[in-house]
Amino acid sequence: MEIKDKLDFLGGYMRVLTLLYGFKDKKSFVMTFDKIILYDFYLKYPETMFGESERIKNYDFEELYSFYHSEPDRDSYHKLLHFLVAKGLVIKEILLGSYVYKITELGTKIIGEIESPYNNLLLEYSSLISKNISKLSDIKVKEAIHVKAQDNIKYSN
């Protein structure tokens, strides 16, 4: 595995773990594999999803071309979640015929101990997703992702 791949993997599992941390107190919420993928887009591209579109041209290359990633590699998410489950940071359960994911006490402890500006932003965005975005249907979330990611095209030219 190359350095970039390792960094992408590290960033991915920290985002997913932080996302699950944002939902730790929502006992009735069911975090499925597909919801993780949808909500992680918000964490991976926060300026696109939470920022102001007129400022988009100041963002990095990944952010500007986020529309290429609006249909992510599902295998990567399976690897991330297998890793998190294997490390005891996340549990996978079957609920109402679907696999659901929850952060464990160990995962909560680890996220709570990380002190960095990046982690603080992830926590803030995870909270926004938990409070606001999670109220939307998956179809509405997908529409928002496609609209906002496509808006970047006009700023990247």
The pLDDT tens digits for 132-152 are 999 999 999 999 888 887 766
Q: Coil, strand, or helix at residue 52? A: coil
DSSP 23: T
d(CA 146, CA 152): 10
The pLDDT tens digits for 112-121 are 999 999 899 9
CATH number at residue 145: 1.10.10
What range does the domain containing 28 cover?
3-156
pTM: 0.84
Give how many domains the chain has, as a whole number.
Answer: 1
Pairing of strands 90-95, 98-103: antiparallel
With cut-offs at 50, 70 and 90, classify the pLDDT of residue 157.
Answer: very low
- pLDDT reported for residue 134: 96
Which two structure tokens, joined as six digits, stand for 148?
């906002």
The pLDDT tens digits for 12-65 are 999 999 999 999 999 889 999 999 999 999 998 888 888 754 444 455 555 555
